[in-house]
Amino acid sequence: MTNVSSGEQTPGAGSATVGSSAAAGRLPSGTAPAGVGSFGGIGLVLAGAFSVQFGSAVAALLFPYAGALGVVALRVTIAAVLLLAVCRPRLRGHSRSDWAVVVAFGLALGGMNILFYQAVDRIPLGPAVTLEVLGPLLLSVVAARRAMSLVWAGLAFAGVLLLGQGGFDALSPAGAGFALGAGAMWAAYIVFNSRTGARFPRLDGLALAMAVAALVSLPLGVGAAGSTLLEPKVLGLGLAVALLSSGVPYTLELLALRRLPAATFAVLMSLAPAIAALAGFLVLGQTLSAVQCLAIALVVGASAGAVRTGRASRN
């Protein structure tokens, strides 16, 4: 689930990030260089993207034991505990509007994860992320307000048509619907992530939002999986998912943003659907047809193009 950097709307994935945290701990403008960036920074971004998507693949391995809702509860709750312990966010001194924004951010974060894991439980990881990324992509197109943005939207639409060639029943209509819903929540996540970053220092806003997401997802997970969540094997895999999908990529992205301009970061993150397809193949044995691979490539291209167009419209 994608990722956000320095207020840049970033098509990327699953997750969610589904989803990522860089905007909540934004660096001051001008910190990153203006060019393409160092190879070290590019490597950090790609490593973070691989970590997120392979974390989603590992999460799918947990579904037979704890179910999709149980896995979401483990991932979000463990990530929340780790973030709260590290960040120790200040609870006093915030206005009602500050709390309203961070709660909305948390609900978007929780909803994005719940819907995305429901999708991955029904359709392969690559197509799930491809459909999910349409949320941030649409947000980028609307924000850019340029004629070229319509070209990228059309390219993404062509990719979705190819992905659903022969009917979305091949993917499961419910799974496709959950992925699209996760995309809508991802767009909301991006908006409230940016607003939270403007109101809370460092990663305090993210830590509080993750706690809100945990309060939403934990009762659902306990209701679905019960005491299974406390089994050592399940807890161990849950910790691995939380680290791969949250802890490791958050750290790598923050380090990368000290070496890369936000636009380069965003374009690299648009590779998320392709990386998700690779993770699904290597970890879960999920194969895709040539047409589905072409569809993913079209959406990746549209995402990268939309980011570049959006950047040009702001310059």
CB atoms within 10 A of CB 259: 20
Q: What is the per-residue pLDDT across 36-65, written as a single tens digit (0 to 9) for each?
A: 456 777 788 888 889 988 998 889 889 999
DSSP alpha helix (H) spans, the chain? 39-87, 96-120, 125-132, 134-144, 147-163, 173-199, 204-225, 232-242, 248-256, 262-269, 272-284, 290-314
Q: What is the per-residue pLDDT across 224-233, written as a single tens digit (0 to 9) for each?
A: 999 999 999 9
- CA distances 219 to 186, 214, 288, Å, are 22, 9, 35
145: confidence class by pLDDT, cuts 50, 70, 90: low
The pLDDT of residue 170:
65
Q: What is the per-residue pLDDT across 1-23, written as a single tens digit (0 to 9) for each?
A: 544 333 333 333 444 443 343 33
CB atoms within 10 A of CB 307: 29
- CA distances 156 to 162, 174, 279, Å, are 10, 21, 22
Q: What is the per-residue pLDDT across 247-280, written as a single tens digit (0 to 9) for each?
A: 788 778 767 766 776 666 666 777 778 888 888 8
What percent of the chain stands above pLDDT 70? 76
84: confidence class by pLDDT, cuts 50, 70, 90: very high
Which has the higher per-residue pLDDT, 107 or 264? 107
Per-residue pLDDT for 126 more than 50? yes
pTM of the model: 0.77
Give φ, ψ of 37 to 5 degrees: 110, 170
Give the mean model confidence (pLDDT) for residues 165-188. 81
Q: Give the whole-angstrom CA distance, residue 194 versus residue 192.
A: 5
On the CB side of 240, CA atoms within 13 Å amount to 16
The pLDDT of residue 8:
38
CB atoms within 10 A of CB 199: 17
Give the mean model confidence (pLDDT) for residues 176-205. 87
Residue type, 90: R
Per-residue pLDDT for 216 more than 90? yes
Tokens of 198: 């403007």
The pLDDT of residue 219:
95
* Contact residues for 125 (Cβ-Cβ < 8 A; gap 6+): 14, 53, 56, 57, 60, 276, 277, 279, 280, 284, 286
Tokens of 29: 């403008």
Contact by Cβ (8 Å): 217, 69: yes
Q: Give the whole-angstrom CA distance, residue 179 versus residue 160.
A: 12
309: confidence class by pLDDT, cuts 50, 70, 90: low
The pLDDT of residue 294:
84
The pLDDT of residue 239:
92
Lowest mean pLDDT among 121-125, 257-261, 270-274, 281-285: 257-261
Collapsed DSSP state (helix, strand, coil) of residue 16: strand
| Of 70, 35, 27, nearest in space to 257 by CA | 27
The pLDDT of residue 164:
64
What distance lies between CA 302 and its chain's CA centroid?
17
Per-residue pLDDT for 312 more than 60? no
Name the average pLDDT for the chain.
78
The pLDDT of residue 38:
65
Give the mean model confidence (pLDDT) for residues 102-109. 94
